[in-house]
């Protein structure tokens, strides 16, 4: 699918036909949004821009240190957009090409932030004079969504902390849940840092517009990203603390179980010794008496009670 946003007087119109490139002036095209484009749509866009558009596989394989590049015609950037899916985080690559007044984006799935922005562009055309403004708005909305994800992670951390304080379902499965949340926090942090690197490179780029308002907006986004990184780091540290606490509680519970088994073994050890002694196939004192079994049973009970009292006195129970 292709969506072309172009100026028509004071309005911004939308067309979804690549053949429109021939009838629209280059300076009037604001944004070309490619969503899983067909071969014809991609070739038409490449012909209009005069440059090659990366495939999804290429965008995914690009190293994080090479996600930004520029030449004398355009800025090329790649980043990932996070989307929560059940207990995991999905990362979908999005490619940007900033060429003069036109922004080109390439993605494979629908994104809520893009759809919201496209409606805003048509409703408030005066706020979007060029493609660079659209790019700044996309980054701003994306950082807001990342902030929402960080807030959700923080809420989950608080819920886990309450469960630990209430000693509710503290087991190996709970530990795995904490580990999954740690993985999600790590993905979010990597994603936010990637955007921080991307926007920093654009601010330093010679092709970045000299418009002070746009630069100020980008600097504000960088400040927001720095705050999110700190918040994510704090959430990750809390998760590590919770993980250590859960491991400690599980170890303590296992130690208590072993303590009970050990105590039972110690309590029964003297009685077992007596029973083993009188179980030998030899002549023993009082073996012929009718009350011998009562005396042996009483002796065994006295030994068990005596050892229990000794442990109780030593505060080992």
Give the domains, in start order, of the chain with CATH numbers: 2-251 (3.30.460.20), 256-313 (no CATH)
- Radius of gyration in angstroms for the set of CA atoms belonging to the chain, rounded to a whole number: 35
240-278 pLDDT, tens digit each? 888 787 777 778 777 878 877 777 777 777 777 777 766
**Structure confidence at residue 223 (pLDDT):** 92
pLDDT tens column, 144-179: 888 888 888 888 888 888 877 777 667 777 778 888
Whole-number Å distance between alpha carbons of 151 and 29 = 37
Note the pLDDT tens digit of each residue in 281-295. Answer: 666 666 667 677 677
The percentage of residues in the chain with a pLDDT greater than 90, rounded to a whole number, is: 2
Task: Provide mean pLDDT across the span 296-304.
Answer: 78
Q: pTM of the full predicted structure?
A: 0.74
């Amino acid at each position: 699918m292709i969506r072309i946003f172009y100026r028509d007087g004071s309005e911004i119109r939308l067309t979804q036909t690549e053949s429109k490139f021939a009838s629209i002036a280059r300076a009037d095209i604001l944004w070309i949004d490619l969503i899983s484009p067909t071969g014809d749509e991609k070739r038409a866009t490449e012909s209009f821009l005069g440059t090659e558009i990366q495939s999804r596989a290429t965008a995914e394989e690009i190293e994080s240190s090479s996600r930004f590049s520029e030449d004398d015609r355009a800025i090329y950037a790649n980043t990932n957009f996070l989307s929560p899916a059940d207990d995991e985080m999905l990362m979908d690559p999005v490619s940007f090409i900033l060429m003069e007044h036109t922004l080109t984006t390439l993605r494979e799935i629908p994104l809520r932030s893009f759809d919201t922005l496209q409606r805003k562009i048509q409703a408030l055309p005066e706020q979007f004079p060029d493609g660079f403004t659209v790019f700044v708005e996309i980054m701003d909305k994306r950082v807001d969504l990342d902030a929402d994800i960080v807030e959700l992670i923080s809420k989950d951390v608080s819920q886990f902390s309450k469960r630990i304080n209430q000693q509710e379902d503290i087991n190996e499965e709970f530990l795995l849940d904490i580990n999954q949340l740690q993985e999600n926090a790590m993905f979010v942090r990597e994603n936010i840092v990637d955007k921080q690197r991307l926007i920093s490179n654009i601010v330093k780029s010679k092709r970045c517009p000299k418009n002070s308002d746009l630069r100020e907006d980008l600097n504000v986004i960088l400040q927001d990203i720095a705050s999110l990184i700190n918040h994510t780091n704090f959430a990750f540290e809390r998760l590590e603390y919770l993980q250590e606490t859960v491991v400690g509680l599980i170890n303590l519970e296992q130690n208590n179980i072993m303590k009970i088994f050990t105590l039972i073994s110690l309590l029964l050890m003297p009685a077992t010794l007596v029973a083993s002694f009188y179980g030998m196939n030899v002549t023993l004192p009082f073996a012929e008496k009718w009350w011998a079994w009562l005396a042996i049973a009483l002796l065994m009970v006295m030994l068990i009670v005596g050892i229990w009292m000794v442990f109780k006195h030593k505060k080992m129970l």
